[in-house]
Amino acid sequence: MKFTSALILLFASASLAAPVVLKSADVQVQHDNVHATRRDMHATSASQKNDAAVILDDSHVARDDAHATRDDAHATRDDAHATRDDAHATRDDAHTTRDDAHATRDDSHMTRDDAHATRDDSHMTRDDTHATRRRL
């Protein structure tokens, strides 16, 4: 029994001591990581400030480029308005001549020859109808 209680005490002390060491080691590692992260954050913040200054300079250049001069922005009165001559068509331009408005009689009507197919084209010959009867 004495031997068992000694073993229990030995294992109990070993198992209790191990987590304490591991926890303190974990805390130490985490502590170092936190400090490293803080340093990185400060470095990043400083570099962002430098980048922001560059962007500020670029935006001022853009501001100068963004405004056109007053002369460029407004067209002259002569450019903006068409002349009276340009706005109105002449009487000659507005109306077609009598000759243009009406097609000639020759163009608008087919000749008698065009309107009617010849008698030969529209009717089969007597020989053609008899040939058809023979096949039936």
Structure tokens at 66: 């963004």
The three-class DSSP label of residue 102 is coil
The C-alpha angle with vertex 76 and arms to 73 and 79, in degrees rounded to 5, equals 110
Residue-wise pLDDT for 5-22, tens only, equals: 555 655 555 545 445 444
At 51, is the pLDDT very low, low, confident or very high (cuts 50, 70, 90)? low
Q: State the pLDDT at residue 124.
A: 56
96: left (phi over 0), alpha (psi -120 to 50) or beta: beta
What's the token pair of residue 20?
Answer: 């304490």
In the chain, alpha helices (H): 2-66, 70-73, 77-80, 84-87, 91-94, 98-101, 105-108, 112-115, 119-122, 126-135
How many Å apart are CA 110 and CA 30, to the nearest integer? 105
Mean per-residue pLDDT of the chain: 56
**Total residue count of the chain as it appears in this document:** 136
Cα 17 to its chain centre, rounded Å, is 66
What is the per-residue pLDDT across 68-113, written as a single tens digit (0 to 9) for each? 566 665 666 666 566 666 666 666 665 666 666 555 555 555 565 5
Copy the structure tokens of residue 32: 């170092």
Which of 82-86, 115-119, 123-127 has the largest mean confidence?
Answer: 82-86
